[in-house]
């Protein structure tokens, strides 16, 4: 980049012709810049592969991660830890296997019940035992754990009720034990026994006695089968296939602050084994190839359609910086692919529109979409989201000088994002499996893009002093200090600049050029005339022309040409954008002043005695369509104002002649203006100039004018300067000295001539122009001595309508017919 700046400075500012060595240096510099671009983009895309976020070797199970650890490459491996976890879960899910109900248990318990009831019958019927002895006898039944209330009820019931209770106990016991009863099921079955007793036993005491006996007699009849259970669990383990884990590039393995568990540690171990040796190289190569594709695509496009960017290294550096910062931001937020839906990449497209226009913005957004797609693991969805949102946003932003345009563009981007997200995630609509979150992300993306573009525009405008729409609006305000100075110190130049700005703006709009830029440039193109305003015809009024007093074509040429270099220095002092300074330098191209012809005449007609370079604007010639438009507007406005044509046909002929002369002289060769452009510009100029310089009606004088009116009429009917027969840049033409004519009569004064070319205006007698020594080094009255160093001239001023014998264009706008001094 430094080499490019050096060669550009030598060619533009010191007029050093590009040699083979310099061209080789330029190509070397371009190759170096391309290599740096590829290096940075590749590193940004494959950053996780090249620079892992934390040392994998330093982490062990139980350690706490200091930061998010991302997978630098996409990897897939068989996870023994996950497989074992899944198999253990399958084994644990197998319940203990029990055998079928054992019928012998039911028979044994039924037989036991019969024996118990026979014993109870004997006790109940024993005539010799007392009640206390009977109660003690029933307590001796080991199979039962009957409390006193149950025993009292057994002894108190009549025989018929007891026989019914006997049958009910046996019936309930057989019914309950018919189903499988496990040890763990006993409590549940016992709680359900009251529902199994017949409703015949409504007495609570009878019901309690039956339930108590059945509970004591009930036993488990289904028992665990260890062999079958073990076989089932082994089968469940074997049914689980080996588990595979997949980590996409950039996916988080361990989040900051989390403890490293077995699963995370296994993934880190796999990265140690397979990542550095096998996969990182693939990611770097993939990123490099994607960067090459994008660089070639953008380079070819810029070279064919925006070749002037290679001459504006500052602008090229700003555009590259915007691209790289946007890509770097995507890398920073891209640890989680979900973040790409929120990242406002479209803001880059809006900034490109502000700086260069929508065409390059669309190409740039396509390029960064490719790189972000690779960064997001070759995601077509992310590439489509970035491309569609950025391109539609760039085409939507029409009036970049209005803040509401950015918000409207952000709204359109949000709508586009939602549509693209819906296309790729339509299956999530029915289940709402994350679609609502993506929907919100798309809207947030669009809104943030508009806001970020506004902030970026302010930063670019004031940090890099680029002619953005915001900067141009600021510079076009009449209260700008430089324009205020121009109004006060050179009012004629200011009015001329306004007309040139209007002409340039309309012509630029007609051919699709940058109308805002050329208008502002036209307002400032002649600010250098403020250094010596009296030496330019539009500021002289009735005080006369100092060039007539100088009678020195060399000094006059220095003064006229210096308004270009002075203007460039003044623009630099007031921090005008470089693009505006280039208009100041180019608006006269490399034309030759009229004073060259005067110098040849003083040399006796010998052109070899005069250095034509001394009378040539330093240039360069207009390097853009906008600069070419302003050169033509400047020449046409000055010439039309001087010649005052009386019809549209005369205006059209003058404009046609000026444009044709400029074209033949080669002043427009580097401006990229086509013949069709020139035709449109000519028609626009003719319409605009006719509206400004249309003829006026000559009203007859009043019969008895008052004294004040007579004085004003006498002033307005004074003879004017004879219009020259040559055309452009009458602003620099010294007026022809004339002798005062005999005073006119009142009748003559009351009826002015209709043709100004037939009347000459005398020099006002009240102005005393001091005599200037005929010495090239002597200071001018009220004008500082001027020593012009042509090596530091960046710019030009004036028109050339003819060519001398050496093939140089000559500016005849300063025709001087006064006899020359013998000393010169």
The predicted pLDDT at position 434 comes to 59
CA distance 120 to 114: 10
Cβ-Cβ contacts under 8 Å for 142 (sequence gap 6 or more) = none
Q: Do the beta carbons of residue 773 and residue 556 sit within 8 Å?
A: no
SS3 track for 235-294: HHHHCCCCEEEEECCCCEEECCCCECCHHHHHHHHHHHHHHHHHHHHHHHHHHHHHHHHH
For 169, the token pair is 């106990």
Question: For residue 732, what is the enclosing H or E element?
Answer: none
Comparing C-alpha atoms, which of 572, 595, 557 is closest to residue 524?
Answer: 572
CA distance 614 to 804: 14
CATH architecture assigned to 306-466: Orthogonal Bundle (1.10)
Tell me the average confidence (pLDDT) per consecutive run of 10 residues in the chain, 824 residues long.
49 51 75 90 85 64 75 79 89 84 84 87 85 85 85 85 87 86 83 82 83 87 85 89 82 79 82 59 87 94 86 86 93 74 93 90 95 86 93 88 88 93 78 69 91 90 85 92 94 94 95 92 95 89 82 91 94 92 94 88 85 90 94 94 89 94 93 93 94 72 50 38 39 40 40 36 39 40 39 36 41 35 32
For 585, the token pair is 């330098």
The predicted pLDDT at position 667 comes to 93
Helix residue spans in 140-254 (DSSP H): 148-156, 159-177, 186-191, 204-217, 226-238
The predicted pLDDT at position 575 comes to 92
Cβ-Cβ contacts under 8 Å for 118 (sequence gap 6 or more) = none
Q: Do the beta carbons of residue 264 and residue 54 sit within 8 Å?
A: no
Q: Do the beta carbons of residue 741 and residue 701 sit within 8 Å?
A: no
For 345, the token pair is 């990449």
CA distance 373 to 379: 5
Q: What is the DSSP track for 551-591?
A: --HHHHHHHHHHHHHHHHHHHHHTT--HHHHHHHHHTTTT-
CA distance 337 to 378: 11
Comparing C-alpha atoms, which of 283, 285, 251 is closest to residue 267?
Answer: 251
620: preceding bond cis by omega (within 30 degrees) = yes
Whether the model pTM is above 0.75: no
CA distance 360 to 306: 8
The predicted pLDDT at position 138 comes to 85
Cβ-Cβ contacts under 8 Å for 251 (sequence gap 6 or more) = 70, 71, 336, 337
Residues of the chain with CATH 1.10.1760.20: 306-466
CA distance 733 to 595: 9
């Amino acid at each position: 980049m430094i080499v490019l700046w050096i060669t550009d400075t030598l060619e533009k500012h010191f007029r050093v012709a590009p040699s083979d060595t310099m061209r080789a240096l330029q190509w070397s510099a371009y190759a170096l810049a391309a290599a740096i671009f590829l290096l940075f983009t590749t590193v940004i895309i494959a950053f996780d592969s090249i620079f892992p976020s934390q040392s994998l070797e330093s982490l062990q199970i139980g350690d706490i991660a200091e930061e998010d650890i991302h997978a630098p490459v996409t990897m897939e491996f068989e996870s023994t830890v996950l497989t074992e976890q899944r198999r253990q879960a399958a084994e644990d899910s197998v319940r203990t296997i029990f055998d079928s109900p054992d019928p012998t248990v039911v028979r044994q318990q039924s037989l036991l019940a019969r024996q118990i009831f026979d014993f109870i019958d004997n006790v109940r019927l024993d005539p010799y035992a007392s009640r206390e002895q009977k109660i003690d006898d029933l307590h001796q039944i080991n199979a039962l754990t009957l409390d006193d209330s149950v025993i009292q009820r057994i002894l108190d019931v009549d025989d018929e009720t007891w026989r019914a209770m006997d049958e009910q106990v046996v019936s309930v016991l057989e019914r309950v034990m018919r189903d499988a009863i496990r040890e763990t099921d006993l409590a549940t079955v016992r709680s359900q026994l009251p529902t199994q007793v017949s409703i015949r036993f409504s007495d609570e005491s009878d019901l309690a006695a039956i339930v108590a006996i059945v509970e004591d007699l009930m036993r488990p009849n289904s028992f665990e089968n260890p062999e079958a259970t073990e076989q089932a669990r082994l089968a469940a383990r074997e049914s689980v296939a080996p588990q595979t884990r997949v980590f996409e590039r950039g996916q988080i393995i361990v989040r900051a602050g989390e403890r490293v568990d077995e699963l995370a540690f296994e993934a880190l171990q796999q990265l140690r084994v397979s990542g550095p040796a096998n996969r990182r190289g693939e990611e770097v190569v993939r990123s490099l190839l994607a960067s090459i594709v994008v660089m070639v695509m953008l380079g070819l496009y810029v070279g064919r359609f925006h070749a002037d960017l290679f001459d504006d290294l500052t602008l090229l550096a700003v555009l590259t910086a915007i691209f790289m910062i946007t890509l770097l931001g995507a890398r920073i937020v891209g640890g989680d692919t979900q973040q790409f839906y929120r990242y406002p990449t479209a803001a880059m497209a809006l900034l490109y529109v502000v700086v260069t226009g929508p065409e390059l913005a669309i190409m740039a957004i396509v390029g960064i979409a490719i790189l972000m797609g690779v960064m997001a693991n070759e995601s077509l969805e992310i590439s489509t989201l970035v491309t569609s949102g950025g391109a539609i946003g760039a085409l939507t932003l029409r009036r970049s000088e209005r803040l509401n345009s950015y918000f409207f563009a952000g709204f359109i981007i949000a709508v586009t994002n939602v549509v693209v997200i819906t296309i790729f995630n339509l299956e999530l609509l029915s289940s709402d499996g994350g679609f609502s979150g993506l929907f919100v992300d798309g809207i947030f993306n669009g809104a943030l893009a508009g806001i970020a573009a506004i902030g970026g525009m302010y930063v670019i405008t004031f940090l890099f002093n680029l002619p953005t729409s915001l900067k141009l609006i600021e510079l076009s305000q009449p209260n700008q200090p430089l324009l205020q100075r121009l109004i006060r110190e050179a009012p004629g130049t200011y009015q001329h600049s306004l007309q040139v700005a209007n002409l340039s703006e309309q012509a630029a709009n007609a051919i699709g050029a940058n109308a805002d830029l050329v208008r502002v440039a036209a307002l400032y193109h002649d600010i250098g005339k403020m250094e010596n305003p009296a030496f330019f015809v539009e500021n002289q009024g009735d005080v006369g022309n100092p060039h007539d007093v100088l009678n020195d074509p060399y000094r006059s040429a220095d003064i006229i040409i210096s308004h270009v270099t002075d203007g460039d220095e003044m623009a630099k002092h007031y921090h005008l954008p470089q693009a505006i300074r280039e208009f100041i330098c180019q608006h006269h191209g490399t034309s030759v002043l009229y004073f060259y012809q005067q110098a040849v005449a003083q040399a006796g007609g010998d052109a070899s005695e005069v250095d034509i370079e001394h009378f040539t604007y330093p240039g360069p010639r207009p390097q853009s369509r906008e600069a070419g438009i302003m050169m033509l507007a400047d020449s046409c406005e000055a010439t039309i104002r001087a010649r005052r044509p009386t019809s549209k046909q005369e205006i059209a002929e003058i404009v046609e002649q000026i444009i044709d002369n400029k074209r033949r002289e080669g002043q427009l060769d580097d401006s990229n203006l086509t013949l069709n452009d020139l035709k449109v510009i000519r028609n626009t100029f003719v319409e605009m100039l006719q509206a400004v310089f249309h003829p006026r009606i000559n009203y007859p004088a009043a019969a008895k004018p008052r004294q004040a009116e007579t004085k004003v009429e006498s002033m307005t009917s004074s003879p004017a300067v004879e219009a020259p027969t040559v055309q452009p840049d009458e602003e620099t033409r010294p007026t022809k000295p004339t002798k005062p004519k005999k005073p006119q009569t009142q009748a003559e004064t009351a009826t002015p001539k209709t043709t100004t070319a037939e009347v000459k205006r005398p020099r006002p007698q009240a102005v005393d122009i001091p005599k200037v020594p005929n010495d090239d080094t002597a200071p001018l009255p009220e004008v500082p001595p001027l020593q012009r160093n042509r090596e530091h001239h960046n710019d030009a001023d004036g028109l050339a309508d003819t060519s001398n014998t050496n093939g140089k264009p000559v500016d005849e706008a300063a025709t001087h017919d006064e006899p020359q001094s013998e000393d010169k």
